[in-house]
Amino acid sequence: MKFILFYLPSVGTVSQTHKGMAGQNSQNYQNMLWQLSEQIKFADKAGFWGAAFTEHHFHIEGIEQSNNPVLLGLYFGMQTTRIRLGQMANVIPFHNPLRLAEDIAMLDQMLQGRSFFGIARGYQKRWADVLGQTYGVGGTMSDKSEVDQKNRRLFLEHYEIIKKAWTSETFSHKSEHWTIPPEGLKFNHEVVNRFGKGQNADGIITEIGIAPKTFQKPHPPIFQPFSFSEDTFRFCAREGIAPFALATDDDVLSDLFRAYQEEAAAAGRDYKLGQNIGIFRDTLVLDDAAEAHKYAAMGNGFVWPAWFAPIGFNEAFRRKGETGRIGPECDYNYLCEKGFEFVGNPDQVNRQIENMVKKHNPEYFLMWQYPGPIPHHIQMRNLELWATEILPNWND
């Protein structure tokens, strides 16, 4: 199994967050950069497979302050030698797909193939609806609404353009929002004919290409967090994308994993059950289980009820066949009861992983980390115990 550290990352302690506007405090941000540098450098030497960062904007509160996961990946990648750096994920409906394809190719070249590429559709309306004005789209919680459907169409358009840019020497593209290159684009530059491609005899640009190409061929691994639906798992299976499950119900997970394997087989991919799939959990391991739960309650036990539950993420805990409303009311004990917290001493967490592997056997395990609310020395001890007491049992 491949273990990936997942950083939002948050900045500021719990008390600093309660004071307000923690995200605009430069010292808070510098502390986050230092903590992550130390933690990821340790993880690099300890054998963790990867580290990932999300994409969100305008988080003046200090929670999920990660507006450019590509730039964060380069920053930490230049301090390490083996660990992979990537995104969970880039919200691609709100990106210029050509620029994003170039940025990822540059990151992959600079890290000599130590990158991975995450894609998502975007759900946080405060920033999605602001940045999405360019394309007339906004955030969505997959509710089949008009906004949701337009977001999905643009997501698929941008995904197709990015893959064309990576895998084709030169290419053209025509879709709802894009004509690449624009019709009748006259450049008439002889150097294109002498040293490049994509210009006809009349000097009209007919195709474009990006440079550099990605270091990995045909491109870096592609991930899609955090998947709730069978439709998403089947799309990922057809494309060879690794989906990351947020669900905690074993029956729901089994259905999703089987659907992925079935769809992958139909697309000509002979995957074992769980291959090219990830599971996402909040994690913290300390020598004393009670201490681990105390600090986890300061991390996800604070952030989830305050931020994620009111947005609707408790839907991830729906049991198979369960109907009706799942409200935002929750606390840390609720998260533990639902099976989202892989927290305790090494023996306890090893048993949780063993149970997960027996039932689902995911190829990837994504581990939520909190550099702000949880003190740095606690995070470092957590990583030390993962490296010595857990990874040797499960690492590929």
165 Cβ partners below 8 Å, 6+ apart?
97, 98, 101, 102, 105, 171, 209, 210
Q: How much is the pLDDT for 381?
A: 98
Residues of the chain with pLDDT under 50: none
Q: How much is the pLDDT for 220?
A: 98
DSSP assignment of 226-243 equals EE--HHHHHHHHHHT-EE
Chain segment 140-191, per-residue pLDDT in tens: 988 889 999 999 999 999 999 999 999 999 999 999 999 999 999 999 999 9
Q: How much is the pLDDT for 134?
A: 86
CA 211 to chain centre: 25
Q: How much is the pLDDT for 191?
A: 98
Chain segment 300-313, per-residue pLDDT in tens: 999 999 999 999 99
Euclidean distance between CA atoms 49 and 67, whole angstroms: 23
Matching residue, tokens 């986890």: 296
CB atoms within 10 A of CB 182: 8
CA 111 to chain centre: 18
Sign for the CA dihedral angle at 306, 311, 316, 322 comes to positive
